[in-house]
A = this chain, B = another copy of it.
Amino acid sequence: MAVYTHVSDDEISNFIAEYNIGKIVSFKGIAEGIENSNYILQTTQDSFILTLYEKRVNADDLPFFLGLMDHLAEKGINCATPIRDKKGEILKTLCARPAALISFLKGMSLSHPEPSDCFQLGSALAFMHIAASDFNIHRPNNLSLQGWKDLYKTCQKNHKKASSFGEGFFKDLGQEIEYLIQNFPNDLPKGIIHADLFPDNVFFLEGKLSGLIDYYFACHDMLAYDIAVCINAWCFDEDFNFKPEKSKELLRGYQSVRPLSAAEMAGLPILCRGAAVRFLLTRLYDYQNTASGALVTVKDPAEYQAKLAYHQGVVNFSEYGI
């Protein structure tokens, strides 16, 4: 839930005057994203999203994020696209913050994705990987092995606050991270990944996938790791039971566009373990660092503890339905 920065009517009017997008009809803060302030802007021409980047986003990364969205849109990928002002700029300043006006993507996210939705997701993800392959700005994945180890140490120091996660939990998690450091693949095909493609970030309109949003974790990493993030985020039910029919369709959709190599398939179980650790750690960190009484919804770290346990028990990648 966002809108940290209040933009006055004068400020938005002056800002809009720098674009060729018509006159303002309405302007409302939306409760979307937890990193930035977001507004929905309606003009006499169209609807747009205005994003003000708050301190959790590194301003140095914005040319990568916005450039990637621009690049993907040019390639015909359905995604929110930065709008150019009269001077051709996409990264601007508003209320002393970096800001960008983004196209309004029709559709809404699914609360209960079906296997057929997962097929569409897989196919869209593969198209995105291919379309991004010639984007020429590099951004490393700060939330991979070394990042997990660092975050683990921070959480371990704080762990007295997280009463439901005790010594045994931290010992097991530390061992898992050591296992991943020893065994994680690093020779699989790499490229730009979305890295956060949860159902919230995928819109559907009348049953068809209409686009992908929120590229603010995108980075360079193994492409199959992006699939592993999606398996974690899309292919378990509300009680954290794995749903192989969803994973099967996700992988079938992906491979209908970009077939996986044998090494990528074989790597899926450990990549899924890594992705589960990544979200377990960031949720644990947020859980430890959110003031009680705050209106922010803290997602339950235990969800990814359960998902990690599932992947740890996978003997063969065929269990993912491939």
Contacts and interface: CB of A to CB of B under 8 A. Distances in A.
Contacts of A29: 1, 30-32
A237 interface: no
A108 interface: yes
Interface in A37-52: 40, 42, 47
Contact of A1 (B1, B206, B292): B1
Q: How many copies of this chain?
A: 2
Interface in A94-142: 104-112
B10 A111 contact: yes
Contact of A111 (B8, B105, B109): B8
Given A10-B112, A293-B293, A295-B294, A28 B30 contact: yes
A1 B6 CA distance: 11
Contact of A30 (B40, B110, B294): B40
Given A3-B31, A295-B295, 17 more contacts: A1-B3, A1-B29, A8-B112, A9-B111, A9-B112, A24-B108, A25-B106, A26-B106, A28-B30, A28-B32, A28-B40, A42-B47, A291-B291, A291-B293, A292-B293, A294-B295, A295-B296
20 contacts: A1-B29, A1-B295, A2-B31, A9-B108, A9-B109, A9-B111, A10-B112, A23-B206, A24-B108, A25-B106, A25-B205, A26-B104, A26-B105, A26-B107, A26-B108, A28-B40, A42-B106, A291-B294, A293-B294, A294-B295
